[in-house]
A and B are shown apart, each in its own frame.
Chain A
């Protein structure tokens, strides 16, 4: 049994909140550069140049890449041999978010009630926390700040087994077609297949954490990711929806077993500022 004080969780979440919002992953930047070379639209190339300049400036000026610094979505892999001491685990994560969003000059985008009151909680809490118990005596914490514009273009559909892989791909491509310029393309498309209603959505979100350019953990899905990427880029939506060949930077698929009666499909759309940072304690 290894003891970890919750104050370490607070300081880690605080640091991750700030860093994820200032510094974009090199995998996203590299993919943006390589697709820019192939972009046929003059406006598209110009938009991508400005985005690349923006990532550089954000890091240099220590300012958030985007003003929408998102909901703080936190994934925790908690080793079963860890004993947390010194306070409440959930509160520690929220305190880390509170401190990070304040000290990093990040925008507070959470309202207390979805419909009636919609009053800003003023500290970007509560975070959305997913905890998984794993083997070992470490904690891995990942923050994925998620903006509203791209999240709003996401969807879950309960499909039939008879729809097959073609039906799934048609749904994914159509979801992106209907999104147009709204989610800030070039986007990353997270696809969750299987599980049940809510698990498919979580799979889609988790798939966004994979490094761009890395192979699918299940090789049989690589070809479908490539095919979807091609079909999505053939839509012509382009950077910011202004027309062009670069609508998506990548498509990621994550799957789970499902019920004999079901075929849940979830599409989680991620803007080009595909932010996530992890730490292992």
Chain B
């Protein structure tokens, strides 16, 4: 039976022990955004042994390139982008301390193995629920790579950001288990 969990960032591994695929998670606290181009730069920094633009310890990365912020709003529409494009970079970021990734669509085997090794999780946000998600984002600030436009790294303050556990720390995968259940 799926349960509802309220998760605060920064995340401690023990906060993730009881999470199971299908659980509903509401995140409150600071999270960071990064898409393809930002991931490439972050991993280049790690390869060179340099510091990242934010402290990755216990952090959550949200794969999003939001729409421009309309007047009077904290952020524009901000739903997840497809996660597999970040697969080549995700293990290095988990090794650096990232505890949760938020995106849409399934992950590769090496990423799932890295989640088990690093006790990290992958949370599915609902693709195309961009306005609903934007309402849970209270503050947004670009902290790095402004030249990348929508792909810049943002620091977001979120309240009850809605997502679903897609991969837990034990290697379970909702994209495999869920499909099995409803396949005819």
Contacts and interface: CB of A to CB of B under 8 A. Distances in A.
A118 to B, nearest CB: 7
Given A67-B66, A107-B66, A236-B179, A243 B105 contact: no
B131 A57 contact: yes
Given A107-B65, A182-B84, A242-B124, A236 B182 contact: yes
Contact of B106 (A40, A62, A241): A241
Interface string A81-107: 000000000000000000000000111
Contacts of A4: none
B82 interface: yes
A245 interface: yes
B: interface residue count bin: 35 or more
A196 interface: no
| A interface secondary structure, majority | loop
Contact of B127 (A63, A109, A240): A240
B143 interface: no
A181 interface: yes
Interface residues of A, number: 50
Contact of B180 (A54, A64, A236, A273): A236
A113 to B, nearest CB: 13
A106 B178 contact: no
Contact of B179 (A62, A69, A241): A241
A47 interface: yes
B114 interface: no
B53 interface: no
Interface in B146-170: 148-150, 162, 164, 166
Contacts of A271: 127-128
Contact of B131 (A43, A47, A63): A63
B131 A241 contact: no
A63 B77 contact: yes
Interface string B167-184: 000000011011111111
Given A65-B130, A108-B150, 18 more contacts: A41-B178, A41-B182, A53-B132, A58-B77, A65-B131, A68-B65, A105-B76, A106-B67, A148-B81, A181-B175, A182-B82, A182-B84, A236-B178, A236-B180, A241-B106, A242-B174, A245-B182, A273-B128
B129 interface: yes
B82 A242 contact: no
Interface string B24-68: 000000000000010000000000000000000000000011111
Interface string A262-278: 00000000011100000
Given A180-B175, A237-B179, A241-B175, A65 B128 contact: yes
5 contacts: A43-B178, A57-B131, A107-B150, A149-B127, A243-B179
A120 interface: yes
A64 B177 CA distance: 32
Interface in A161-188: 180-182, 184
B37 A118 contact: yes
B93 interface: no
B130 A66 contact: yes
Interface of B: 2, 22, 37, 64-70, 73, 76-79, 81-82, 84, 104-106, 124, 126-132, 134-135, 148-150, 162, 164, 166, 174-175, 177-184
Contacts of B64: 67
Interface in A235-264: 235-238, 240-245
Which of B22, B82, B183 neighbours the largest number of chain A CB atoms within 10 Å of its CB?
A: B82
A107 B76 contact: yes
B81 A54 contact: no
A243 B128 contact: no
Which of B2, B150, B180 neighbours the largest number of chain A CB atoms within 10 Å of its CB?
A: B150
Which of A57, A66, A242 neighbours the largest number of chain B CB atoms within 10 Å of its CB?
A: A242
A192 B105 CA distance: 25
Contacts of A131: none
Given A51-B129, A64-B77, A243 B174 contact: yes
